[in-house]
Amino acid sequence: MEKKIIVSWVMQVVVALIFFQTLFFKFTGASEAVAIFTKLGVEPWGRWLTGILELGAGAMLLIPGTIVIGAILSLIIIIPAIVLHFAVLGISSNNDGGLLFALAIIVLILSLAILWIRRSRLKKLLRKS
């Protein structure tokens, strides 16, 4: 296996783990998640929708035929999250010291890197549409 594909898989697993780790908070209605989505005015449906999308993106990043789609979905999820941190929530939300924001930046960078490494597959996917 090529070194860049191994690097991509490591990044895919990291992004998937970040998404899967936050699912617990979203799906159990943890006070931190409820506070964030209440502040955004989309509690509870926004929390549930985000959790479902994150579950889908994380799973797709781990299935060979859907990696590129999973990375694109990750960006569709994480770019608005980053914008909302700047516009509404702040870098540090719920006194987390900026942890959620940092995780969002990691997901953004790694998802972009995954797409770059797998750009030949992305080009094929774009030609089909």
* Whether pLDDT at 129 is above 90: no
Q: Amino acid identity, residue 79?
A: I
Kindly report which listed range (49-58, 89-98, 119-128) carries the lowest average pLDDT score.
119-128
Enter the pTM of the model: 0.94
* Whether pLDDT at 128 is above 90: no
How far is the C-alpha of 56 from the C-alpha of 60, rounded, in Å? 6
pLDDT value of residue 16: 98
